[in-house]
A and B are shown apart, each in its own frame.
Chain A
Amino acid sequence: MSTFLGMPSLPVFGTGNLHASESFPKAAHRELGNAQLRANLGHATHTIRDKRLKVVAELPDWEQLRDAGSAIKESVMARLPELLEQFEENFTARGGVIHWARDAEEANGIVAGLIRDTGETEVVKVKSMATQEIGLNEYLEEQGIAAFETDLAELIVQLDHDKPSHILVPAIHKNRTEIRDIFLREMPGADPHLTDDPAVLAMAARAHLRRKFLTAKVAVSGANFALADSGTLAVVESEGNGRMCLTLPETLITVMGVEKLLPGWQDLEVFMQLLPRSSTGERMNPYTSLWTGVTKGDGPQDMHLVLLDNGRSAALADEMGRSALHCIRCSACMNVCPVYERTGGHAYGSTYPGPIGAILSPLMTGIEAEENNSLPYASSLCGACYDACPVKINIPDILVHLRSVDVDSKRGKKKIPTQMDVGMKAASWALSSGKRLGLVEKGLPIGRLAAGRDRKITKLPGIAGGWTQSRDIPAPPAESFRTWWAKEHQRPEIEGARKPPQDKGDQA
């Protein structure tokens, strides 16, 4: 197949839960008004940040592991077609069946069809970002199939009919009391005397899900890694819900983005050191399962893998942005982000929040999709995310790149110049010569008038109002530095009188 040569296809963007349906500043403004959310998030992100730092500091070769991880992922992207074909061959040879899905809709259809083939109407699910991204649970519900989330945090979110707000700890925005209340309200047969002790709540979840695990015939999972040279898949987890889903049912359907591949077994030693320390701040997560196709007499005998594009090829086509696909979904970038820490994940709209989401979502959907062009601005560009990223994705650089993509996409589309266009034009005129700037600065005293007696300007007009929305501007000085300098230096007789006689040698 080489028909694509010579006929460059346009990037085909992803669909599903990848969009901000309202602009980030608007959504952030609303979320910031929730004091409980901010308290929960502040506590959680700081806790996990400290844990991560502690366990990362234990490894003398952390930076060498990051270098290897980054290079392995870069290599995977460069060799992606070849590695996918190799993986397909190995997975198939081991008794698995591969399905390819161009977008969310196609993937959902495939999974629902596979479940229908088993005759079952219930499935258990291991936490998976990919299925979140394609909106699988909602789709299955429409098809009359009940999907039970089994990860504790996903269960909390599902019971509360809420959306995850963090890729690792989806219920990070809820505190223990809120979770207790959700269980009492939504969990059938919950003990009315349930306390808000996390251990008690975890036991309630165990009791609630135990039956489901033991009787489920079909499980749906994601995958953290896939090894091309053997067809092996890996799921990294903590609670044992993953092991239950991957081991006990007869049919296992895994949904995985095409970028999750690693070339081979040796690469796992790098990523299994990087991921747990970066995500939960543990030396190792409690459970990791690896399976290579079907093993006779052990685990599911009917094994499927849905390989998902859904905009990943579009992200790959962006030379500056493609390294966003190196992401291993550890969530370290959100935990250190000063913006995420305050707004939480819901403000980003997409399944992928935080710094990585601010680049990944618009790369996968195209910058013009809904309000996704507001996401690259959801950052102060402080660079904390880049420092924390285990595979060294240069998120700040990609944010800046996407801002320029956004500006370019708007160019030539508007007939009437916006306030920003006019402002930028004016600034360009004024800042291009000292004389012009001096002229503009003569207008400063007007600002003093606007400031009034408290010498603060609290509200600027037009789009400049965005600046004063959350801060005041001090009144401008009575004269500009330029004016002051000129005045001072027009009095040579005073200058001369003050200065000691100059030495000729000094002047040379």
Chain B
Amino acid sequence: MSARDDILGRIRSALRDGPEAPQIPRKYRATSGLDQAALIELLVDRLIDYKAHVSVVDAVEVPTRIAELLADAKCYVVPTGLDAGWLAGLDHETGDRRRRLDSPAAPLPVAELDGIDAVVTGSAVAVAETGTIILDGSPNQGRRAISLVPDHHICVVKAADIAGILPDALRRINGTRPLTMISGPSATSDIELERVEGVHGPRKLDVIIAR
């Protein structure tokens, strides 16, 4: 008998008493009921708690803010589908020579990504209560590797994409896409449970909330 049939047989046999599957009581909150201003305030509070850097700006100011944050980067990567105009502050006449483009069709090798200082991406949805930003691999966020290997992640969150709590956020995305939920820069508490920010993932996380 195959291992598969054997195991399924064992499990069926273990359930010979016929336990019933109970109804699931979903009496927990589905939304937070907060308005946009309150959502932004809560998200900022949570992100700062994780030691992320946050700026809240009007949508038109996003390009300027990105340009400021990239001032020290020798080179940076962006997904090809990054929202048009976000890099306007860097384009001048000829385009920015520090910029590398990445897409699933034309991916940069890992070794090259390792030499890149920063990455700019959009985001799919954010959760105010937990300070979480979810990337779903859409064209404005790119492959998972580009938001992982560079040490500085600049992530733009649109105010309309902020959900109050997790159930609200998960209802807005497709679970079968390659998803990364990010809550602050990488961290560890493995040594005496003392939290240290910055391990293998990006050690610096800049979140730009665009109103």
Contact = CB atoms under 8 A, between A and B. Distances in A.
Contacts of A176: 191-192
Interface string A218-238: 000000000100101000001
Given A4-B12, A65-B28, A286-B50, A239 B7 contact: no
Interface size class of A (residues with CB under 8 A): 35 or more
A171 interface: yes
A60 interface: yes
A48 B22 contact: no
B189 interface: yes
A399 B133 CA distance: 41
A91 to B, nearest CB: 11
Counting from the closest, the 5 A-B pairs by CB-CB distance are A240-B201, A297-B104, A317-B14, A240-B200, A313-B10
Given A286-B50, A288-B181, A289-B179, A258 B104 contact: no
A81 B25 contact: no
A241 interface: yes
A248 interface: yes
Q: Which residue, A99, A169, A276, A314, has most C-beta atoms of chain B within 10 A?
A: A169
Nearest to A335: B193
B181 A68 contact: no
Given A71-B25, A240-B186, A232 B176 contact: yes
Interface of A: 1, 3-4, 8-9, 11-12, 40, 43-44, 47-48, 51, 60-61, 64-65, 67-68, 71-72, 74-75, 77-81, 84-85, 94, 99-102, 106, 150-153, 156, 169-172, 175-176, 179, 198-199, 201-203, 205-206, 209-210, 213-214, 227, 230, 232, 238-241, 243-244, 246-248, 258, 265-266, 268-270, 272-273, 276, 280, 282-292, 295-299, 307, 309, 313-314, 316-317, 319, 322
Contact of B11 (A246, A268, A316): A316
Contact of A213 (B15, B188, B189, B200): B200
B95 interface: no
B59 interface: no
A284 B5 contact: no
Contacts of B55: none
A71 B24 CA distance: 5
B166 A269 contact: yes
A240 B183 CA distance: 11
Interface stretch (B66-74, B81-89, B143-151, B154-162): B143-151
A198 B192 contact: yes
A469 to B, nearest CB: 32
A273 B50 contact: no
A507 to B, nearest CB: 55
Contacts of B177: 292, 295
Contacts of B9: 1, 3-4, 9
Given A61-B28, A206-B198, 20 more contacts: A4-B10, A43-B192, A51-B193, A61-B29, A74-B21, A78-B20, A99-B3, A100-B2, A151-B190, A152-B191, A156-B190, A170-B190, A238-B187, A239-B199, A287-B201, A297-B105, A297-B143, A314-B14, A316-B15, A319-B17
Nearest to B189: A280
Nearest to A292: B176
14 contacts: A68-B25, A68-B27, A74-B22, A77-B15, A81-B11, A81-B15, A202-B199, A206-B200, A210-B200, A240-B200, A288-B179, A291-B179, A295-B177, A298-B145
Nearest to A67: B25
B35 interface: no
Contacts of B149: 214, 248
Nearest to B20: A78
Given A78-B19, A297-B143, A317-B13, A243 B180 contact: yes
A152 B11 contact: no
Contact of A60 (B2, B16, B29, B190): B29
B104 to A, nearest CB: 3
Nearest to A48: B193
B186 to A, nearest CB: 4
A337 to B, nearest CB: 16
A241 B198 CA distance: 11
Interface in B189-211: 189-194, 196, 198-202
A266 to B, nearest CB: 8
Q: Which residue, A84, A156, A243, A246, has most C-beta atoms of chain B within 10 A?
A: A243
B186 A72 contact: no
B175 A232 contact: yes
Given A64-B27, A78-B20, A169 B181 contact: no
Contacts of A209: 200
A100 B143 CA distance: 31
Contacts of B194: 198
Nearest to B132: A284
Given A202-B198, A286-B187, A297-B107, A247 B192 contact: no
B27 A238 contact: no
Contact of B182 (A150, A153, A287, A290): A287
Nearest to A318: B14
A298 to B, nearest CB: 5
Given A284-B131, A307-B7, A240 B15 contact: no
Nearest to B50: A286
B22 A75 contact: yes
A265 B170 contact: yes
A47 B176 CA distance: 37
A244 to B, nearest CB: 6
Contact of A240 (B10, B148, B176, B189): B148
Contacts of A84: 8, 11
Contacts of B130: 276, 283-284
A227 B167 CA distance: 16
Contacts of A199: 196, 198
Interface in B104-130: 104-105, 107, 110-111, 114, 127, 129-130
B46 interface: yes
A67 B27 contact: yes
A499 to B, nearest CB: 60
Contacts of A322: 14, 19
Nearest to B130: A284
A81 B7 CA distance: 9
B176 A286 contact: no
A243 B199 contact: no
A11 B182 CA distance: 42
